[in-house]
Amino acid sequence: MTRVVEVVAPGLLSTLQDLGRDGWRHLGVARAGALDPDAARLGNRLVGNAPEAAVLELTLHGPTLRFDAPLRIALTGRCVVARFDGIALPMGRPIDLPAGTLSLGAVRDGARAWLAVDGGFAAAPVLGSRSTDLRGGFGGHEGCALRAGDRLALVPGSMFAIETPRIPGWWADPEFDEHRDAPVRYLPCNDAAAAALASRAWQVSAASNRQGLRLHGAPLTGARAGGLSEPVAPGTLQLPPDGQPIVLLADAQTVGGYPRLGHVIAADLPRLAQLPPHATLRFRACTAAQAQAAAAEARARLQRLYLALERPLARFLSAAT
């Protein structure tokens, strides 16, 4: 049976994403993908999907979705107010739902959450990915954010009959990052402005988006003037002429002419996805060895979580068959 999700209300910015579009940056194609790939992987694991299955990324306020058949969902990322036909739903666990309406409201204490559905969303891959490239207008669902009236087909998934939500008592804490309030670590370039980046607090501008966080604070000076365009990537710190830095995110362009101050380390990039407008952050310079150690620590932490999930998740998934 074909399962379809109807978008009753689209939310503020809801897009289909997976782990990104690799191997095309030399042709000017952005990576895109979930701004926190680990949150997307966790959601997919909870519903029994492959890690690269497409998920729905919610920004600040989620959509209202109606589906015509039972399905299994999981919500990861920051806590989102979720209700199914009036019943409150928790985060960080698989939930079996009958046909009905799922309302996803405000994202609390952060900016984004991710919705995984068993089987995944059946968007056609473009250049090897189902991710939405908002700037390019391709991928995902018709190359754009969800709109009211959209109908999203799902990949065939688990078949089960259920009349009321089935929710396990255990959960995988979606806030397992104990460093969430620490300064964001970066590898600085050899420039006075790069060192000064860590000397002050910065506020996230409301003009930020998936392409990059625009920061406001005491202007930085001393960087060389912009010149020829140079390669950039998610995590690159740029300094426009006004002295207000930009941190590039998953939808970043592939080259840029602004001076580069350095690069946010991979382990801290997911934290940037959770900074809403007007949030405050600080930076701390680190070494390449420290960046590698932080990446290894993040991978080990995720693997420990996966190991802890194996038995309870297997019991839950097998009970539905």
> What sign results for the dihedral spanned by CA atoms 103, 109, 115, 116?
negative
What would the DSSP string read from start to end of 114-157?
EEEETT-B-PPPBTTB---BTTTTBSTBTTB---TT-EEEB---
What amino acid occupies position 261?
Answer: L
Domain limits of the chain?
A: 4-176+314-319, 184-286
pLDDT-based confidence at residue 91 (cuts at 50, 70, 90): very high
Tell me which fold the domain 184-286 belongs to.
Cyclophilin (2.40.100)
SS3 label, residue 214: strand
**CA nearest to 14, candidates 103, 126, 99:** 103
Confirm if 100 and 35 have CB atoms less than 8 A apart: no
| pLDDT at site 192 | 83
The distance from CA 16 to its chain's CA centroid, rounded to whole angstroms, is 10
Output the CA angle 212-214-216, nearest 5 degrees.
Answer: 165
200 is written with which tokens? 């002050």
Residue 136: count other Cβ atoms within 10 Å of its Cβ.
Answer: 16
Phi, psi of 53 (to 5 degrees): -60, 150
**What tokens were used for 204?**
């996230």
Cβ neighbors of 289 (< 8 A, separation 6 or more) are none
Q: How confident is the model at residue 319 (pLDDT cuts 50, 70, 90)?
A: confident
* Helix (H/G/I), strand (E/B), else coil: 24: coil
Q: How confident is the model at residue 225 (pLDDT cuts 50, 70, 90)?
A: low
Confidence of residue 58 (pLDDT cuts 50, 70, 90): very high
Altogether, the residues listed in the chain come to a count of 321
Whole-angstrom CA distances from 225 to 191, 240, 241 are 12, 9, 8
Q: How far is residue 95's CA from residue 229's CA, in Å, rounded to a whole number? A: 48
Q: Which of 184, 133, 152, 155 is nearest to 27 (CA)?
A: 133
**Which pLDDT value is given to residue 222?**
64
Residue range 153-191, pLDDT digits in tens: 999 877 788 989 999 999 987 555 556 678 999 999 988
Angle at 193 between CA 178 and CA 265, to 5 degrees: 30
Mean pLDDT of the chain: 92
What average pLDDT does range 99-110 have in this prediction? 95
Percent of the chain clearing pLDDT 70 (strictly above): 95
Residue 70 pLDDT > 60: yes
Q: CA-CA distance, 252 to 140, in Å (whole number)? A: 17
Check pLDDT > 70 for residue 83.
yes
Give the strand pairing for 246-248 and 87-88.
Answer: unpaired
Q: What backbone phi and psi angles, to 5 degrees, belong to 187? A: -95, 110
Taking only Cα atoms into account, the Rg of the chain, rounded to an integer number of angstroms, comes to: 20
Residue 1, pLDDT > 80, answer no
Cβ–Cβ < 8 Å for 140, 20? no
Residue 70 CB partners (closer than 8 Å, separation 6+): 96, 97, 98, 99, 160, 161, 162
CB 61 within 8 Å of CB 107: yes
